Amino acid sequence: MIQIGCHLSSSKGFLHMGREAVSIGAATFQFFTRNPRGSKAKPIDEKDVAAYLAFARENGIGTIVAHAPYTLNPASADPKVREFARITLADDLKRMEYLPGNVYNFHPGSHVGQGVEKGIEEIAETLNEILWPEQQTTVLLETMAGKGTEIGSRFEELAGIIERVELQNKIGVCLDTCHVYDAGYDIVQNLDGVLEEFDRIIGLKRLKAIHVNDSKNPFQSHKDRHEKIGDGFIGFETLQSVVHHPKLQGRPFCLETPNELDGYAKEIRMLRGMR
C-alpha cells in the first residue's frame, strides 16, 4: 500500500496524531518538532511515545516525517543565528531517538547575501557538528522553491551539501512537488525527466520522503505557496502520477496542502485512486 499521509498538529501528542492519521486513511504523517517559528520544545512524554509506537505497529503506520521549525537558518552570515539553528537541530535529533528509524526534514537555509557556496559550507558544517554515528534518524534536506536567497532550489546545491557531510548514511533529501515546480523543474510536462535529473545529480537512493502539494503559482515562480490537490498549476493528474510512480514507492508521501482533516481525507482517497 502507498504510504501516504499529511501534516498533522503535534499539540496533542503522538498517539493522537497516529489515531488521526488512521482515521483519514493515512499510513504516515508529518509533524513539527516544536512550534514552526522555533520556540522551546515540550518535553517528550515517554508514555505517549510508547503508546504511539504500539498503535503504529498495529495499524500499519510506516516511516513518519518530523519537520524542523522553518525559521532556522544554518546558512546565515550571523554566527548567533547559525548557533541557534545548530542547537535546535541537535536537540530535535536527540528527541528523535525516542522514535527510532524515522526521518527529520529541515529547510537548508538562506545565504542572505554571503553567496550560495558559503551557505552550502555553513550548512554542511552544522550537519557535521550535530550528526553522530549511532543516531537512528536520517536527516533530510528539503528541495526549496528558491524564494529570496534560499539554498536548495537546484539539485546541484543539495548535492553540494551532501558531498561535504561526513556521515553519509545519515543524510537524505525530501522532494516537495510545489517547491521543485516553483524552482523550475517541470514535473507537469516531464516528471520522468525530473526524476532522472534528480537521480543523476543527487541519486534517488537519497530520496527518503516526498511532500505532495499543488502550487498557487505557475512554473518557475519561486513563490512557495501551496494549493489544494487539483486546484493549482500542477494539477491532480501529475500529483497522482507522483504518488503512484514506480521509482518512488516505499517512501512516505505527505500532503502539506491548506486543509483540515476532512479535506486531507478526501485528497488521500483521490490520490490513492479510490473515487
Instruction: Kindly list the residues in this chain that would bind Fe ion in the complex (CB under 5 A).
Output: 142, 176, 211
Residue 138 one-letter amino acid: T
Q: How far is CA 74 from CA 89, 126, 135, 155, in A?
A: 9, 7, 20, 18
Distance CA 137, CA 218 (A): 35
With respect to Fe ion, which residue has the nearer C-beta, 122 or 176? 176
As a residue count, the chain comes to: 275
With respect to Fe ion, which residue has the nearer C-beta, 45 or 256? 256
With respect to Zn ion, which residue has the nearer C-beta, 224 or 227? 224
**Smallest separation (angstroms) from Zn ion to the CB of 176:** 6
The DSSP string of 139-208 is EEEEP----TTBS-SSHHHHHHHHHH-S-GGGEEEEEEHHHHHHHT--HHHHHHHHHHHHHHHT-GGGEE
Cell readout for 165 is 557531510
Q: Which one of Fe ion, Zn ion, none interacts with residue 214, CB within 5 to 8 A by kind?
A: none
With respect to Zn ion, which residue has the nearer C-beta, 13 or 73? 73
Give the footprint of Zn ion on this chain (CB under 5 A). 224
Q: Which one of Fe ion, Zn ion, none interacts with residue 182, CB within 5 to 8 A by kind?
A: none
Q: Which one of Fe ion, Zn ion, none interacts with residue 157, CB within 5 to 8 A by kind?
A: none
Q: Which one of Zn ion, Fe ion, none interacts with residue 211, CB within 5 to 8 A by kind?
A: Fe ion
**Smallest separation (angstroms) from Fe ion to the CB of 173:** 12
**Smallest separation (angstroms) from Zn ion to the CB of 250:** 23
Q: Which one of Fe ion, Zn ion, none interacts with residue 267, CB within 5 to 8 A by kind?
A: none
**Smallest separation (angstroms) from Fe ion to the CB of 108:** 10
**Local structure of 79: helix, strand or coil:** helix
**Smallest separation (angstroms) from Zn ion to the CB of 70:** 8
Q: Which one of Fe ion, Zn ion, none interacts with residue 224, CB within 5 to 8 A by kind?
A: Zn ion
DSSP-H helix ranges across the chain: 14-23, 46-59, 79-96, 116-130, 155-164, 177-183, 187-201, 236-244, 261-272
CA angle 77, 81, 85 (to 5 degrees): 120
**Smallest separation (angstroms) from Fe ion to the CB of 176:** 4
The answer to whether the beta carbons of residues 141 and 103 sit under 8 Å apart is no
**Smallest separation (angstroms) from Zn ion to the CB of 178:** 6
Neighbour-count burial for 193-220, b at 16+ CB within 10 Å, e otherwise: ebbeebeeebeeebbbbbbbbbbbbebe
With respect to Zn ion, which residue has the nearer C-beta, 214 or 224? 224
With respect to Zn ion, which residue has the nearer C-beta, 150 or 224? 224
With respect to Zn ion, which residue has the nearer C-beta, 122 or 224? 224
| Closest residue to Zn ion using C-beta atoms | 224
